[in-house]
């Protein structure tokens, strides 16, 4: 579009060229100015119009204003209803969290008085009711604040439960809970027995599994290898520290596959059965020690199985 400017003060005419973007911008500004002017004129007429203004004109202006107010109220009411629906969903989720927390509390065996998931948080205050049946923003805000407090409380409790469960799982993995060989039978139990070499009464501080040579030997629990070498009495022996002053020993092996300082997991293969050291035949001598004192390994395995 070309606009030609002609004036007595100018010796020559001037031409202004407007592109599509400039024309659209000008039209947009005109529309906005028109809307602003119409709105301002409407407010001025409603407030300061003289009594002589016609009833029909005043009715048209009032009707337009009422329609706009109704639209705004309808939008606000729809938004409040959507918020109310979200509050209901949050309350339903809280009930499911409470049920889950209660089950976890029973599993961990913690004190119910400390983690009472089945009871709401302590609240109080005077009863103040509203005569209006419509949903109020203040009411929704109060419910949202209350739910936020409950969610924070439940989150803290579930975090504590998670920590306890992880500690329990870690403790179980560090306890001798897996038999060191897949098959085999006890040729000698824990306790006093007749020593096969001297024929005298002697304390047997472990259990003997009779299995063929080369049978895999597995770590009964996770830990760190503290000994993996030849011993005068135990032969090729592996010793694993599991923490909390608990140690397991695997003796008379034909081969050893771990080194001192190596971290092993429960069920890892650490050696193979043999008859090295003070032994009368192929078998595995398995010990569990707590604070240096020999314990009956069968008791650990039975408690883990139960």
Residue 171 has what pLDDT?
A: 61
> Which pLDDT band holds residue 304 (cuts at 50, 70, 90)?
very low
Burial 221-232 (b: 16+ CB within 10 A, else e): bbbebebbeebe
pLDDT of 222 above 60: yes
Residue 136 has what pLDDT?
A: 62
One DSSP character per residue, 168-215 reads HHHHHHTS--S-SSSS-EEEE-SEEEE-TTT-SEEEE-SEEEE--TT-
Residue 73 has what pLDDT?
A: 79
CB within 8 Å of 209: residues ≥ 6 apart: 180, 181, 184, 185, 186, 187, 273, 283, 284, 286
Residue 144 has what pLDDT?
A: 73
Segments making up each domain of the chain, as ranges: 2-37, 185-305
More confident position, 167 or 200: 200
Number of Cβ within a 10 Å radius of residue 180? 28
pLDDT of 35 above 70: yes
| 3-state helix, strand and coil shares in percent for the chain, rounded to the nearest 5 | 40, 25, 35
- Tell me the pLDDT tens digit for each residue of 81-129: 777 777 777 777 777 777 777 766 666 666 655 555 555 555 566 655 5
Residue 305 has what pLDDT?
A: 41
CB within 8 Å of 150: residues ≥ 6 apart: 94, 120, 121
Specify the CATH superfamily of domain 185-305.
Answer: Glucose Permease (Domain IIA) (2.70.70.10)
More confident position, 273 or 96: 273
More confident position, 137 or 151: 151
More confident position, 53 or 239: 239
- Tell me the pLDDT tens digit for each residue of 36-90: 777 776 666 656 554 545 566 566 656 767 777 778 777 777 777 777 777 777 7
The mean per-residue pLDDT over the stretch 227-248 comes to 94
More confident position, 107 or 201: 201
146, 153, 160, 134: which is closest to 90 by C-alpha? 146
Residue 74 has what pLDDT?
A: 78
Cα–Cα distance, 244 to 293 (Å, whole number): 13
> Which pLDDT band holds residue 212 (cuts at 50, 70, 90)?
very high
pLDDT of 202 above 70: yes
């Amino acid at each position: 579009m070309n606009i030609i400017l002609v004036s007595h003060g100018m010796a020559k005419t001037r031409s202004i060229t407007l592109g599509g973007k400039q024309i659209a911008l000008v039209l947009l500004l005109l529309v906005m100015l028109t809307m602003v002017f119409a709105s301002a004129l409407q407010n001025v007429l409603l407030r300061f119009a003289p009594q002589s203004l016609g009833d029909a004109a005043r009715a048209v202006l009032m009707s337009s204003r009422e329609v706009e107010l109704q639209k705004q109220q309808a939008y606000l009411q729809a938004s409040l209803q959507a918020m109310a629906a979200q509050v209901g969903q949050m309350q339903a989720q809280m009930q499911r969290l409470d049920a889950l927390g209660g089950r976890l509390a029973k599993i961990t065996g913690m004190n119910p008085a400390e983690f009472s998931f089945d009871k709401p948080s302590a609240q109080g205050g005077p009863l103040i009711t509203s005569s209006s049946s419509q949903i109020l923003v203040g009411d929704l805000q109060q419910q949202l604040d209350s739910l936020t407090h409950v969610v924070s409380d439940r989150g803290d409790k579930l975090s504590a439960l998670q920590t306890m469960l992880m500690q329990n799982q870690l403790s179980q993995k560090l306890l001798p809970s897996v038999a060191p060989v897949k098959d085999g039978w006890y040729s000698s139990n824990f306790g006093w027995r007749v020593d096969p070499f001297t024929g005298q009464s002697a304390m047997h501080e472990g259990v003997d599994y009779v299995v063929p040579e080369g049978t895999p030997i597995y770590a009964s629990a996770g830990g760190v290898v503290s000994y993996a070498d030849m011993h005068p009495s135990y032969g090729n022996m592996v010793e694993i520290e599991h923490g909390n002053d608990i140690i397991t020993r695997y003796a008379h092996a034909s081969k050893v596959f771990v080194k001192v300082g190596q971290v092993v997991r429960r069920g890892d293969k650490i050696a193979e059965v043999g008859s090295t050291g003070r032994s009368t035949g192929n078998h595995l001598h398995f010990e569990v020690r707590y604070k240096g004192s020999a314990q009956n390994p069968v008791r650990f395995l039975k408690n883990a199985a139960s």
